[in-house]
Amino acid sequence: MSDSALSQDEIDALLAGGDSPGAGTQGGAAAGGGGSDADRQALQSFLSSTVDAQSSNLSSMTGATVAIKGPQGSFSNRDVFLAQLPEKVTTIKVDFSSGFPGEHVFLLPEDAAKSIAGLMTKEENIELDEMAMSVIGEAVGAIVGSELTALTEKTGNKSIVNIPPEAASVPKAAAALPAGDFFVASYQLDLGDGKANQFWEILGPSVSGDIARALSPAPAAGSAANGPDLGAAMGGAAPANMPGMSPLGQPTNVQPVQFPGLVSRPTTQEAGNIGLLMDVYMEMTVELGRTRKLIKEILGLGFHRARV
């Protein structure tokens, strides 16, 4: 067999329509070049703040006491990440279509996927068929909903939308993963049976970078990022001989700004025109209040009209 022959993993990936193994290592720098440690910490901290809401949502949907812990965040690529996965996984694509557009994928081991589907459908020994994929997509959709709510609150971006979840059970080599270096969040999942299940959340290079920047605080005004101030440029003190400045750099001869009056005054012509209306009678009605009464109470009232 020649060196150019495809491996079984590569054949599986091509048949399933996914990226071939190793594709993620090509052009990694062009696709994002990996994220900084500051990006990793920002993303990990944000996702950690959402796990309580995610646990509550899954508990309501499954009827079990679900606990999600983590995540641990890192940047990886396809080859490195696939080595961590079991041979069969369930992938759920929930790409962001707006706000922070980019690739967004969840991966579950086969056993964890079956457990979630079984709890939601109240079935034992469930198969990962089309119905099971639908309920797993619904469960992941609830997790993403919690994240989007928190992300909107933290970034102020109100246009964040994801595509409907697309779940599929595939060999790990056929998992549709982003190219280049992507962000991986690794969670621990307890479905109420005390058994620890691991699952993963993937953010593509572009979306992870955009979200990390949106979560990072902007530089304070007057910081080095905005350039040196006048005092720094002049050796730490304002020059004493600048016009209008005291030796301590404070402005002198400060006077209040005089603004024109806001009430417009009529011109002579306007005043004359208004005078034509001064002796015109007008009927005016004044309402002193309102109340609710029974008809028999109203009939007992007497009404008087007053002219003002």
Which residue, among 77, 74, 36, has the nearest Cα to 212 in the 3D structure? 36
Q: What is the pLDDT of residues 250-296, one digit of tens each?
A: 556 666 666 666 555 555 555 556 666 666 777 777 777 778 888 88
Least-confidence region, from 79-88, 92-101, 288-297: 288-297
Binned at pLDDT 50, 70 and 90, residue 151 comes out as: very high
- 8-state DSSP, 12: H
What's the pLDDT score for residue 221?
53
Please give the helix or strand (H or E) that residue 109 lies within, else none.
strand 104-109
pLDDT higher at 86 or 293: 86
Rg for the chain, CA atoms, rounded: 34
Q: What is the pLDDT of residues 163-174, one digit of tens each?
A: 999 999 999 999
Binned at pLDDT 50, 70 and 90, residue 22 comes out as: very low
Q: How far apart are CA 8 and CA 54, in angstroms?
A: 37
Binned at pLDDT 50, 70 and 90, residue 25 comes out as: very low
Q: What is the pLDDT of residues 162-217, one digit of tens each?
A: 999 999 999 999 998 999 999 999 999 999 888 889 999 999 999 999 999 999 87
pLDDT higher at 15 or 71: 71
What b/e sequence results for 82-120 when a residue is b if at least 16 CB atoms lie within 10 Å of its CB, and e otherwise? beebeeebbbbbbbbeebbbbbbbbbbbeebbbbbbbbb
Q: How far apart are CA 186 and CA 207, in angstroms?
A: 17
Q: What is the average pLDDT value for the chain, to the nearest integer?
A: 78
Least-confidence region, from 6-10, 32-36, 176-180, 216-220: 6-10
